[in-house]
């Protein structure tokens, strides 16, 4: 589907198709850093532009650079946000490219960074993208349709050991080895190409007693495949430190995670900045070892019961935020490495 699809059940209006998670909380956390005219927010995961629209409407001094790897999302968000003119700049990129994006479009420093991680509503709702296990579809799962690797490629070419590792590490799947063995056995008869067939195999691979709890039996495997296809955790490992380095002093970063692997990466990066790096026992803390971030949330915030009822996709959200106090000390500054796109990082 494209931005002008008018089939029944579809809308060309991005605002009708996505309910942003913790929308007002995100805006309120970012607003103090965006009060000066021309202040820049980088929305690293633009999606259909819900968070960006709220910022542009509520904070007239701000402009937003919206990054997304999905051309379809950029097209939909671009239509939605066209009325803001040059206050909104769309960029087709993977968000670990944030340093070069900020250099090109914001003069090297941003006042705010927002990351709303995971798969977008657009991707989940488009059956033909293959992200949702509730509907039979091609085994695609690419966030960027211009990249090569698909979920079918993973299932048809990875060896059994790699498949088990991916399911175990990225899906936290207890029955990873059994599922991997069954995937390889099935592909010896015919290649994988449809998600419905995979769901059937997963249901048969997981013991009936286990299927009664823990959600849909395909949930963890589909998560693992999506993460592998799009290199999500490797990208996030690079992106969070890079985003912090892109922040001006006084700038704020807000990150929404939806599963423990993501949240762990975010928590670690923020903790490094909010913790003194001085050796224990020093009578005076050297200036170069003082924290360069201040946490704006106590741990990870969750959606309240009202929002979970209104928007089921908010049930697993974990929100963390921090403010930059000063430049990162040289001995802690992350080395900038040549960016590799998810396409280049995948097999």
Give 102-130 pLDDT, tens digit per residue.
Answer: 999 999 999 999 999 977 665 565 666 76
What are the residue boundaries of the structural domains of the chain, listed by start? 14-121+233-345, 131-229
Mean pLDDT of 259-266: 95
The sheet that has 39-43: what strands, in order across it? 88-92, 62-68, 39-43, 110-116, 247-257, 318-324, 293-295
Decide if 118 contacts 170 (C-beta within 8 A).
no
Q: What is the pLDDT of residue 191?
A: 96
The topology under which CATH files domain 131-229 is DNA polymerase; domain 1 (1.10.150)
Q: What pTM, to 2 d.p., does this model score?
A: 0.86
Chain segment 85-97, per-residue pLDDT in tens? 999 999 999 999 9
For CA atoms 118, 120, 124, 130, the dihedral sign is negative
92 annotated to bind ligand: no
Give me the pLDDT at residue 154, please: 98
Whether residue 145 has pLDDT greater than 80 = yes
Tokens 């990351």 -> residue: 115
Report the pLDDT value the prediction gives residue 208, as an integer from 0 to 100: 82
Q: Give the residue among 265, 244, 269, 234 at the shortest CA–CA distance from 344.
A: 234
Q: Tell whether residue 49 is among the known ligand binding residues.
A: yes
pLDDT tens-digit readout, 274-310: 997 767 767 767 777 789 999 999 999 999 999 999 9
Strands (E), 78-201: 88-92, 110-116
Cα–Cα distance, 296 to 253 (Å, whole number): 9
Residues 6+ apart with CB under 8 A from 237: 265
- The answer to the question of whether 68 is labelled as a binding residue is yes
Was 123 annotated as part of a binding site? yes
Local structure of residue 194 (DSSP, 8 states): B
Q: Is 95 annotated as a binding residue?
A: yes
- Is 50 annotated as belonging to a binding site? yes
Architecture of domain 14-121+233-345 in this structure: 3-Layer(aba) Sandwich (3.40)
Average pLDDT of the chain to the nearest whole number: 87
């Amino acid at each position: 589907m494209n931005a002008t699809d008018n089939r029944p059940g579809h809308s060309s209006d991005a605002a009708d198709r996505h309910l942003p998670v913790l929308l007002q909380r995100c805006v309120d956390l970012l607003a103090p850093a965006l009060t000066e005219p021309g202040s820049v927010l980088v929305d690293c995961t633009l999606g259909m532009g819900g968070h960006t629209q709220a910022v542009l409407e509520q904070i007239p001094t701000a402009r937003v650079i919206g990054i997304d790897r999905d051309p379809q999302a950029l097209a939909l968000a671009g239509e939605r946000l066209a009325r803001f003119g040059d206050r909104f700049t769309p960029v087709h990129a993977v968000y670990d490219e944030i340093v070069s994006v900020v250099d090109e479009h914001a003069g090297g420093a941003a006042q705010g960074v927002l990351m709303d991680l995971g798969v977008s509503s657009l991707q989940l709702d488009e059956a033909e993208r293959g992200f949702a296990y509730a509907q039979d579809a091609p085994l695609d799962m690419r966030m960027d349709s211009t990249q090569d690797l698909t979920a079918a490629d993973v299932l048809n070419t990875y060896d059994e050991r790699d498949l088990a590792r991916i399911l175990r590490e990225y899906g936290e799947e207890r029955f990873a080895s059994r599922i991997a063995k069954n995937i390889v056995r099935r592909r010896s008869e015919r290649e994988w190409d449809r998600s419905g067939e995979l769901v059937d195999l997963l249901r048969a691979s997981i013991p009936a007693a286990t299927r009664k709890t823990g959600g849909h039996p395909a949930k963890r495997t589909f998560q693992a495949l999506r993460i592998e296809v799009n290199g999500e955790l490797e990208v996030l490992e690079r992106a969070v430190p890079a985003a912090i380095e892109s922040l001006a002093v006084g700038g704020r970063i807000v990150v929404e995670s939806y599963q423990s692997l993501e949240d762990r990466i975010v928590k670690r990066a923020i903790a490094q900045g909010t913790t003194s790096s001085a050796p224990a026992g020093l009578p005076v803390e050297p200036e170069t070892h003082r924290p360069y971030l201040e946490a704006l949330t106590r741990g990870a915030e969750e959606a309240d019961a009202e929002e979970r009822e209104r928007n089921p996709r908010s049930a697993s959200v974990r929100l963390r935020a921090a403010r930059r106090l000063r430049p990162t000390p040289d001995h802690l500054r992350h080395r900038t490495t040549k960016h590799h796109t998810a396409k280049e990082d995948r097999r």
